[in-house]
Structure formats: C-alpha cells, structure tokens
Structure 1
Amino acid sequence: MTILAVALAVGLLVLLISVVKLHPFVAFLIAALAAAMLLGLPLDRVAGSLTRGIADMLGSLTAILCLGAMFGRIVADSGAAQRIADTLIHAVGRGPITLALALAGFIVGIPLFYNVGFVLMVPLILSVARRSGMPTVYLAVPMLSGLSIAHGFLPPHPSPTALVGMFGADIGLTLIYGLAVGIPTLLIAGPLFARSLRGMTAHPRPSADTPEVVVKLPNATASFAIALLPVVLLAGATVLMTLPALPPVATGWVAFGGNPVVTMLISVLAAMLILGVARGTSLTRLSTGSGEAVKDIAGILLIVAGAGALKQVFVDGGADVALAGWLSGLSLPPLVLGWGLAMVIRVALGSATVAGLTAAGIVQPLIAAHGVDPNLMVLAIGSGSLMFSHVNDSGFWMFKEYFGLSLAETFRSWSAMETLVGVFGLLFTLLLSLVV
C-alpha cells in the first residue's frame, strides 16, 4: 500500500504539471497533501511536515542559488562570457572549432543558468557560422551540450546543488566528480556527435541573428579567472582537506573558504570588483542587476521548496523505509535506478530540475541502505534528468525556433544530443564508481 501511495502521489504530480498546467510548486504541495492522506499521516502533523520539508530543503541552498544568480548576471553583463568564447574560438581558428565551442559552452555554463547561457551564446554561434561558412547546427550542438552538462552535473546549478543537500553529499567532491564525468561526456555528445550533423541546414530566425555589438570586453585572464573561481575554491578546498599534514589553523581556514556560501560570496565580490567596479561600472548598477537576477530564480526556489515538502511527507509517512525495502529487492544497481526514475519523470514532464528532485526524493533511502556514494548518485540522477528532451521541454522549442529547424531535425539534433549526454553521463558515472 505504501508503494502504491508513493506511485499515486508522483503520478498526480505528473498529471498536475503536464496536463492541468499548474505551477510545479503548487503541484508539489498538492501531491504532498495527497501523499500524506494516502500514507495515513495524522492531520495534525501534515502542516508541520510540509513546513519542515520546505525549510530543510531551502536552508543554506537559498543563499547559494541567489549568490550564484548574481554571479552569473555579472559575468554575463560584463561581457566575460563572450570574451571566454571568443578567446577559445580564436585560439583554434578553423581547426578543432567544435572542440573550442564545446569547451566555451562548458566554462560559460558554470556561472550562467542554462536559459541565460543559451540566449547569450546563440548570436555568437550564428556569428561564427557566418564568418567560417560552417553549418550552424554543426557548431551549435557542441556549445549547447557544454551548457547542458554544466546545468545537469555541476554545482552551483540549482538541481545538482539541491541534490547535494538532499543526499548529504560533499559539494566540492561532487564538483570534482562532475568534471571527471562531464568532460568525456561533452566530447562525445558535442564535437563527436556534431560530425553527423554537417548536412543539416538551419534557417535562423532574423531576431536571433543579432548584429554584434562592439563593446569593450574584459581581458581574457580576468574573464577566465572569475568564471572558474567557484570551481577553483570548491575543488581546491576539497583537495586540500585530504592532505594529512595540513595544520589545524590552515584546516579551519580551508574549511571556511570551501563552504559553498562563503565560496559564492567571495566569487560575487570578486566579480563585482574585477568585472564591474574596476571597469567603471557603478555599484548601483551592479546591485540593480543582482536584484533582477534574484527575481529570475524565484521560480526555481519554489520548485526546490515544493520538492522538499513532498520528500518530507514521504519520510514522515514511513515511505522511506518501505521504499528502501522495495527498491532493495530490485535487481538494478542503485545508480541505474536513480537514473531511470529521473529519466521517466523527465520524459513525462520535460523539466530537468523537477525530474531530478522528484527522483531524488524516491531513491534517497538507498543512500544509507546500500552505502551508495551520494556524490555519484547526484551525477546519476542529473544524467537521467537530461534524457530525451522533446516537445514538453522549453529547451527543445528554443533550439528549434532559434535555428529554424523542423520537428524531425530538432529530434535528430537536439533530442539526440541530450540523450547522449544522459546515457554517457550514466556510463562514466558507473565507471567512476569502480575506482572511488
């Protein structure tokens, strides 16, 4: 009965979002209430479960995501993202240009939220296609696969950051593992796959092919240094903490600097000073942009909060124990199971964030029961949440409309690329699990 209650609650969530078209936050709360009723949770405990779930999920995550949004906005507005892409493209000339585009998308994707990075990079892709005479889709897929992988695998992006909190993973270690899994996945789903798309002709809409605006961009050193600063701080702190001879005083400072909130605060302040104030941008303008960036992620925070409410109802209703027992009886490895659940929800709903958070709430009991590495589970679920983007995903339509493709061409290019990211992301996660 418990398993059926969970299945019905998740089914209701899918129905409310995909058919009724409710906002995911509202859908999560309704699904959580339905789960509470089905699991027999006493009425006087339901409100407390919802509140506790929302509070526990958001916690320090709110600060990380808000600071991440501010950081990304400064990187985008300053032109640092464009400088990074330009530098990598010019470095290779007409050589391995798809490799340069993939790397540019990956690096730019670290500080920028996916939709922001997508809109920012499209004019650059079209400009490169126009100047080089190379097919547009052939150039677009590598860069956008880099954005997608950063979005699904790497903190401080919303879904992986939230999963780190749900599983009690280490954000720095997850980032290191994410790089180890993401880079080979990028090479396959980006430059390698793009070779099969050379014959596809794009018809970009006029508004997408915007003229290049000549502005004074920050220098390449500053652009790369700031964009990669969160990665260096988080990964560096994780590596330093493993050193046996680290003095106690140094250990305290490293732990402090490696705290995700402190890391993102340092990154934001560095971006404001180096990409903003040092280049003549007023603090007032920087603050205004940061405020607008926070508004843009309000919807994401609500989705995360709703997922926390549903997860807590599962726990308080005893579904976690029942799920652990039932899932343990399945023959699938836990990482594959998490990937599969995220994939099914992704195909049904279209949202990678909702798919990842919902799947995480279901498989969370497996982390302790099977001793699964929580950092690897973040990557497995992240991979599943990117699988087979199709007509219910906004990214599918953005790609189709920006590049003027038919539905069949969009499936052949965009959907296939996202599926390769999901499949090889899981494959490399499983291979990594053999050595860590």
Structure 2
Amino acid sequence: MPLLIVALAVVVLLVLMTKFRLNGFIALLTVAIGVALWGASSGNLAIDGENVGIDAIPKIVASGLGDQLSHTLIVIGLGAMVGRVVGDAGAAQRIALKIVDVFGEKNVQWAMIVTSMIIGITMFYETAFVIVVPVAFTLVRATKTNLLWVGLPMSISLSTMHSFLPPHPGPVAAAGIYEASTGRTILYGFAIAVIAGVIVAMIWPRLPFVKKMNPSIPEGLAPKRMFEEDEMPDTFTSIGVAILPIILIAGAEIYAMFANTESTLGRIIAMVGAPEVALLITLFVAIIVFGPMRGTPMSEIAASMSDSARGMVMIIMVIGAGGSLKEVLVSTGIADYIADFTGGWDLNPIILVWFTAVILRVALGSASVAVTTAAGIAAPLVAASGVSPELMVLATACGSIAFSHVNDPGFWMFKEYFNLTVINTIKVRTTYTTVLSILGLFGVLGMSLIV
C-alpha cells in the first residue's frame, strides 16, 4: 500500500502540473498535504516515532521546507548573486571565451566536463551548479549553441562527482556505516565516476529527443548583454574571482584530511571553507573587484544582485516545496516499509544494497535518506560476505542517484535553471541519473572481481 500511495502521488503531481498547468510550488504542497492526510487517517503519520494526527501536518510540511532551504537557500541565493555580478561585469564572458580558446568551440562539451569534474570533486552539486552555470549560460550565448548542449555535460559531471565520491554527504554517510576507508572509496569511486560520467555526458546531449529541446536561458539569471573586448576584465581576475569559492571549500576539505581540525586554525579554516561563508566572501570580493576597483557604481552592482534574487524566488520556493514532500514521505513510514520489504532478499550484497537504495530513492526523493537506510540494512552483510566495504559504499551511493523525479528537490533545480517543462525534465534528468546509476553498478561489480 505505501508504494501505491507514492505512485499515486507522483501521478497526481504530474497531472496537476501538466494538464492543469498548476504552479510547481502549489502542486508540490498540495500533493504533500494529500499524502500526509492519508498517513494520518491510516495511522502511519509519525514524528520522532510518535503517531500524530492531521493537526501535525502543517508542522511536518513546514519542517520539510525549512530543512531543505536551510541547506540550499544561502548557497543558491549567494551563488546566484555571485554569478550575476560576475556575469554583468563581463567576467563570465571572459572565462567562457578563454575556455573556447583553449578547447576550441567544437570541444566546448569537453571543457564543461573537465571543469565540472574538477570543481565537483569537493563541492556539493547545488553549490557547484550555481557557480558554474553562469559560465555555461555565457558559453551558450558566445557559441550560439543549444542550452542543453552545454549545460547537460556540466550537470551530469557534477551529479556524478556528488553521488560517487566523499566528501559528499551520501558516500560519507555510507562509509561511516560500513566502516570503510574514505581514501580507498575515493580511489575506487573516482575511477568508476570518470568513466560513467564522461560516457553519459557525451551521449545525452546527442540523443534525438534531447536535441529537439531548445530551452531559453531563464530571465534574470544570465548577463544582460554580450561585451566588447575592452569592456571585460582580464582573464586572471575573472578566473580568480570565479574559482575563489572552490579554493576556499576545497582547501578546507584538504586541510581536514591532513591536519588537526580541532585547533583554532583548523576551526577557522573549516568556517571559511563552509559553502555559505565561502560564497559570502566571494560575493564581497566580486563586489569590490568588479565595482569600485573598475569604476562601476555600487548602484549597478546592487541592481545585479537584486535582479538575481528576483530570478531565484520561484526556484527556491519549488525546491523548498520538494523538501516538504520528501519530509511527508519519510514521516509516513515509507522508508521503514521498504527496509522491511527488501531486508530478506537473497541477492549478491552489492546488488541488494543498490536495488534497495534505488527503491528508497524513487519513493522518497532524498538521496541521503536512501543511502543511510540502505546502508543500515546491508551493513551486517559486509562481514558475512567478505565484500569490500568501499565497494558497498559505492554501490549504495550509485543506487541513491537513480530515477531523480518530481519528489527530488534537485529535479526542480535542474528544471528551473534549464527552463524545461516537467515532462522534458523527466525525459532528460530522470533518464540520465538512472543510466549513471546502472553504469555505476556495473563498474562496482566489475571492480569487485579484482578488489
């Protein structure tokens, strides 16, 4: 019954948004409340293990929205402002033209893959996305190519790094549960991730149904115009500001691997390397470098930031509502139901944990919940089966990225930034995440023959 409810919720959501053209924020909240009403009426709605009634539904919905935005609002908001300031100063165009010079216009996809994979090693998908996407928008304008031709390799590469490798939350959580070596997990995962990511990133933009789509860049999220050569800042300054948050965030992660994070210096570096603080620092640097230092009035810089904020409002609201739906699905006990459902299956541990994570991901939308729940089920199998715990981490993480759809907040971020319809987002994102997941499973199974 719980899985049927999930399926019905997805169908209703699709009907509300495609047939009735209901706003995504309203549609997600409506479905979330509907599922919560079923949970309350059937006695399955709970908070912290205690059954609750319909009067608790607003609290659950608000909690899910708040939790989701607590992780993404600052990052997305600051990232959009940095991107807009960099773009309106001509710096994003300078970076884009430099990429084209180095790789050639025909190899712009390779440029996005290499850039995104390097950035995505340590940065969360959402953080890296909002930093790199202005460059993708500018490349689209500079090369006059399809938005998905440039944007898809970027998103696919970031998705792969985020899903396969520590220090991202899913793999880190699974490594802790399986007591796996983080270093070996990174080593094995990187080999699988690069191959799988490149294959999907180069194939997906060339698929016929993707090539038919030609979305426009969303209003308010791209530079207002193309710049002349003498209007753009120099390459060193442009790249320096753009990669500053990457240096701060990656530097903090590297420091944590080799030094004492409990010291005063370690705590300061950890704070500065937090995505929220790193992006705030970058925004101030961008304001100074592209404002007073170039003779640009602060009123223009402020207008750029305001425009980016207006362009982000609906994206943030939709992502938050996606968090509400995820919280309701968790509160109705669907994760526990799936855990019991798959716990007794007699399968190869790698396949079992992958499949369990896939089901949880489809049902709940949250990759983190899918990873931790699936790993909790499969952890006892590691010692009994002799399977490498590092490979179990990767199998779990691979499963958790499959079938990204309407209950995944990342789905809505992808949809809004690339200005797609719900159906087209399913065609593009849901399919590429699923293929990445399957390729990852094959990679893990292949590696299990030699590890």
Q: TM-score, normalised by structure 1?
A: 0.67
Q: Which residue in the other structure is 1:22 paired with?
A: 22
Matched, 1:427 2:445: no
Matched, 1:67 2:78: yes
**Structure 2 CA distance for partners of 1:366 and 1:190, relative to 1, 3 Å:** closer
Q: Which residue in the other structure is 2:263 paired with?
A: 248
CA distance in 1, matches of 2:371, 2:25: 21
Post-superposition offset of 1:251: 1.6
**Structure 2 CA distance for partners of 1:306 and 1:192, relative to 1, 3 Å:** closer
Conserved 8 A contact 2:196-2:439: no
Bigger CA drift: 51-60 or 377-386? 377-386
Post-superposition offset of 1:397: 8.8
Bigger CA drift: 323-332 or 247-256? 323-332
Deviations, residues 194-235 of structure 1 (Å, cap 9, x unaligned): 8999xx99x9x9xxxx99641421222222222222222222
**Structure 2 CA distance for partners of 1:213 and 1:236, relative to 1, 3 Å:** closer
Deviations, residues 20-60 of structure 1 (Å, cap 9, x unaligned): 22222212222122212222441222222122222222224
**Structure 2 CA distance for partners of 1:320 and 1:211, relative to 1, 3 Å:** closer
Matched, 1:121 2:139: yes
1:148 to 148, 155, 170: 155
CA distance in 1, matches of 2:75, 2:437: 25
Q: Which residue in the other structure is 1:258 paired with?
A: 273
**For 1:267, what is the secondary structure of its paired residue?**
helix
CA distance in 1, matches of 2:356, 2:325: 20
Post-superposition offset of 1:66: 0.8
CA distance in 1, matches of 2:129, 2:287: 14
**For 1:297, what is the secondary structure of its paired residue?**
helix
Post-superposition offset of 1:293: 0.8
Aligned residue type for 1:423: V
CA distance in 1, matches of 2:29, 2:204: 40
2:310 to 268, 281, 295: 295
**Structure 2 CA distance for partners of 1:263 and 1:368, relative to 1, 3 Å:** farther
CA distance in 1, matches of 2:277, 2:202: 36
Post-superposition offset of 1:73: 1.0
**Structure 2 CA distance for partners of 1:246 and 1:301, relative to 1, 3 Å:** closer
Conserved 8 A contact 1:80-1:217: yes
Q: Which residue in the other structure is 1:49 paired with?
A: 60
1:89 to 91, 100, 103: 100
- For the aligned residue pairs, the C-alpha RMSD in angstroms reads 5.1
Q: Which residue in the other structure is 2:408 paired with?
A: none
Bigger CA drift: 253-262 or 366-375? 366-375
Post-superposition offset of 1:94: 8.1
1:223 to 223, 228, 238: 238
Conserved 8 A contact 2:401-2:433: no
CA distance in 2, matches of 1:194, 1:394: 18
Conserved 8 A contact 1:277-1:283: yes
Post-superposition offset of 1:417: 11
Post-superposition offset of 1:362: 7.0
**For 1:21, what is the secondary structure of its paired residue?**
coil
Q: TM-score, normalised by structure 2?
A: 0.65
Across the two proteins, how many residue pairs are aligned to each other?
382
CA distance in 2, matches of 1:276, 1:71: 13
**Structure 2 CA distance for partners of 1:143 and 1:56, relative to 1, 3 Å:** closer
Aligned residue type for 1:285: E
Aligned residue type for 2:78: L
Q: Which residue in the other structure is 1:366 paired with?
A: 374
Deviations, residues 368-417 of structure 1 (Å, cap 9, x unaligned): 4446989987776556439xx9xxx789998xxxxxxxxxxx9xxxx799
Structural mapping, 1:339-354, within 5 Å = none
CA distance in 2, matches of 1:421, 1:31: 24
Percent identity of equivalent pairs = 24
Post-superposition offset of 1:103: 4.4
**Structure 2 CA distance for partners of 1:232 and 1:278, relative to 1, 3 Å:** same
**For 2:75, what is the secondary structure of its paired residue?**
helix
**Structure 2 CA distance for partners of 1:45 and 1:277, relative to 1, 3 Å:** same
Conserved 8 A contact 1:149-1:182: no
CA distance in 2, matches of 1:107, 1:70: 22
CA distance in 1, matches of 2:289, 2:271: 23
Q: Which residue in the other structure is 1:325 paired with?
A: 340
CA distance in 2, matches of 1:292, 1:181: 40
Aligned residue type for 1:290: M
Post-superposition offset of 1:262: 0.9
Q: Which residue in the other structure is 1:312 paired with?
A: 327
Aligned residue type for 1:214: E
CA distance in 2, matches of 1:13, 1:374: 32
Aligned residue type for 1:20: F
CA distance in 1, matches of 2:77, 2:297: 21
Post-superposition offset of 1:188: 3.3
**Structure 2 CA distance for partners of 1:418 and 1:282, relative to 1, 3 Å:** farther
CA distance in 2, matches of 1:242, 1:146: 29
Conserved 8 A contact 2:90-2:227: no
Conserved 8 A contact 1:84-1:220: yes
Matched, 1:214 2:228: yes
Conserved 8 A contact 1:164-1:375: no
Q: Which residue in the other structure is 2:13 paired with?
A: 13
Post-superposition offset of 1:147: 3.0
Deviations, residues 289-338 of structure 1 (Å, cap 9, x unaligned): 11111121212221222122222222333333213323545665444565
Aligned residue type for 2:305: S
**Structure 2 CA distance for partners of 1:99 and 1:9, relative to 1, 3 Å:** closer
Matched, 1:80 2:94: no
Deviations, residues 155-203 of structure 1 (Å, cap 9, x unaligned): 8xxxxxxx959x9799xx9xx9998777545543456888999xx99x9
Give the gaps of 5 or more residues in structure 1: 127-135, 156-162, 346-355, 399-409
Post-superposition offset of 1:9: 2.4
